[in-house]
């Protein structure tokens, strides 16, 4: 389905029982709403109605050119705008990677719109900021962002040789067909630049204003995540002012929804079951 929100058209994967308690699923880089395809069947069976939008830059109808258009407040406003367009007052919120950053910010700034939060892979922005300041290991893990923020250079590096850079980056996602399902849309004109603009628009100022979260929250982290280390993961608890759980997945990479959909689904259902 397609949703009109904030002057843009968002492609949205919708499923589950009509009238079911809504769940908004926010994807990360360089994927799209389809990264939750192996998660949603069990959510539907539990009576939940899911919506997985292709976010700003990923939906062709929501692809502004200016880097500033991809600042975190705009991404948060998109998520709230999609809920408005769907007529949803409050939803369970799930976000992976960049989608987790947006989800943390929505939960912090608009708690009345969020029933529960399940953040996947990326911790609260303040926990991440502290880890970057204090943990050399986390700084090393995040060094890739320097390339991603370089216009032109990043696109060339990631798209060369049939997008080999993108494909290698997604080691752990699954077989070639699954990797291609994410990499191929990024080869469309302007698509990768729009996705990378999330990194280029990122600022400490925008991250710093994300306050503590006061809704029931689960953070799902995997020990083999090459981007997020234990320091950042364990610091997350200090930024939640409600029931909080850390679910650690052993022997799983960063790509949790693709590589470990069953334990992720269990974590989501465990978090939502009392509020369905």
* Assigned token pair, 121: 């892979």
Which of 194, 174, 173, 176 is closest to 184 using CA atoms? 176
The answer, yes or no, to whether residue 44 has pLDDT greater than 80, is: yes
pLDDT score for 274: 65
Tens-digit pLDDT profile for residues 60-86: 999 999 999 999 999 999 999 999 999
pLDDT at 145: 94
Residue 232 has pLDDT above 90, yes or no: yes
Average pLDDT, the chain: 96
| pLDDT value at residue 243 | 97
pLDDT at 260: 98
pLDDT at position 53: 98
Fold assignment, 2-275:
Rossmann fold (3.40.50)
Q: Which of 234, 222, 229, 150 lies closest to 192, judged by CA?
A: 150
The domain locations on the chain are: 2-275
Sheet containing 48-53: give its strands across.
2-5, 8-15, 48-53, 21-26, 91-96, 114-120, 217-222, 244-249
pLDDT > 60? residue 56: yes
For the CA atoms of 247, 138, 28, 55, the dihedral, rounded to the nearest 10 degrees, stands at 120
C-alpha–C-alpha distance, residues 17 and 20, integer Å: 5
Q: pLDDT band for position 275 (50/70/90)?
A: low
CA–CA–CA angle 106, 110, 116 (5° rounding): 70
The answer to whether residue 276 scores a pLDDT higher than 70 is: no
Helix/strand/coil for 242: coil
Q: What is the pLDDT of residues 187-227, one digit of tens each?
A: 999 999 999 999 999 998 898 889 999 999 999 999 999 99
pTM of the model: 0.97
- Distance between alpha carbon 183 and the CA centroid of its chain, in Å? 17
Instruction: Give the residue-averaged pLDDT of 146-158.
Output: 96
Residues 49-55 have a mean pLDDT of 98
Say if residue 116's pLDDT is above 90.
yes
pLDDT value at 128 more than 80: yes
> Which SS3 state, helix, strand or coil, does residue 61 take?
coil
Burial class (CB in 10 A: 0-12, 13-18, 19+), 188: exposed
Q: What percent of the chain has pLDDT over 70?
A: 99
Q: What is the mean pLDDT of residues 241-259?
A: 97
- Residues 162-196: tens digit of each pLDDT: 999 999 999 889 999 999 999 999 999 999 999 99
d(CA 214, CA 200): 29
Least confident stretch, 76-85, 130-139, 234-243: 130-139
Q: What is the pLDDT of residue 21?
A: 97
């Amino acid at each position: 389905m397609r949703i009109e929100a904030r002057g843009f058209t968002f492609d949205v994967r919708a499923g589950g029982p009509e009238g079911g308690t809504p769940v908004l699923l926010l994807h990360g880089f360089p994927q799209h709403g389809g990264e939750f395809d192996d998660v949603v069947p069990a959510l539907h069976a539990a009576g939940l109605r899911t919506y997985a939008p292709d976010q700003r830059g990923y939906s062709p109808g929501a692809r502004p050119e200016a880097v500033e258009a991809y600042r975190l407040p705009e991404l948060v406003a998109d998520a709230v705008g999609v809920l408005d367009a769907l007529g949803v007052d409050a939803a369970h919120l799930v976000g992976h990677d960049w989608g987790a950053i947006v989800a943390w910010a929505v939960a912090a700034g608009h708690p009345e719109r969020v029933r529960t939060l399940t953040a996947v892979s990326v911790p609260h922005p303040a926990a991440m900021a502290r880890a970057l300041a204090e943990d050399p290991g986390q700084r090393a893990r995040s060094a890739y962002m320097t390339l991603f923020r370089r216009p032109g250079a990043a696109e060339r590096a990631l798209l060369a040789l049939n997008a080999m850079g993108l494909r290698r980056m997604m080691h752990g996602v699954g077989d070639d067909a699954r990797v291609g399902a994410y990499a191929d849309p990024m080869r469309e004109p302007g698509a990768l630049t729009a996705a990378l603009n999330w990194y280029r628009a990122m600022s400490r100022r925008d991250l710093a204003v994300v306050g503590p979260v006061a809704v029931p929250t689960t953070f799902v982290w995997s020990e083999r995540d090459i981007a997020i280390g234990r320091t950042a993961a364990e610091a997350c608890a200090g930024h939640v002012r409600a029931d909080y759980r850390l679910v650690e997945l052993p022997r799983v990479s960063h790509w949790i929804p693709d590589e470990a959909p069953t334990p992720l689904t269990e974590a989501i259902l465990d978090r939502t079951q009392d509020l369905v």
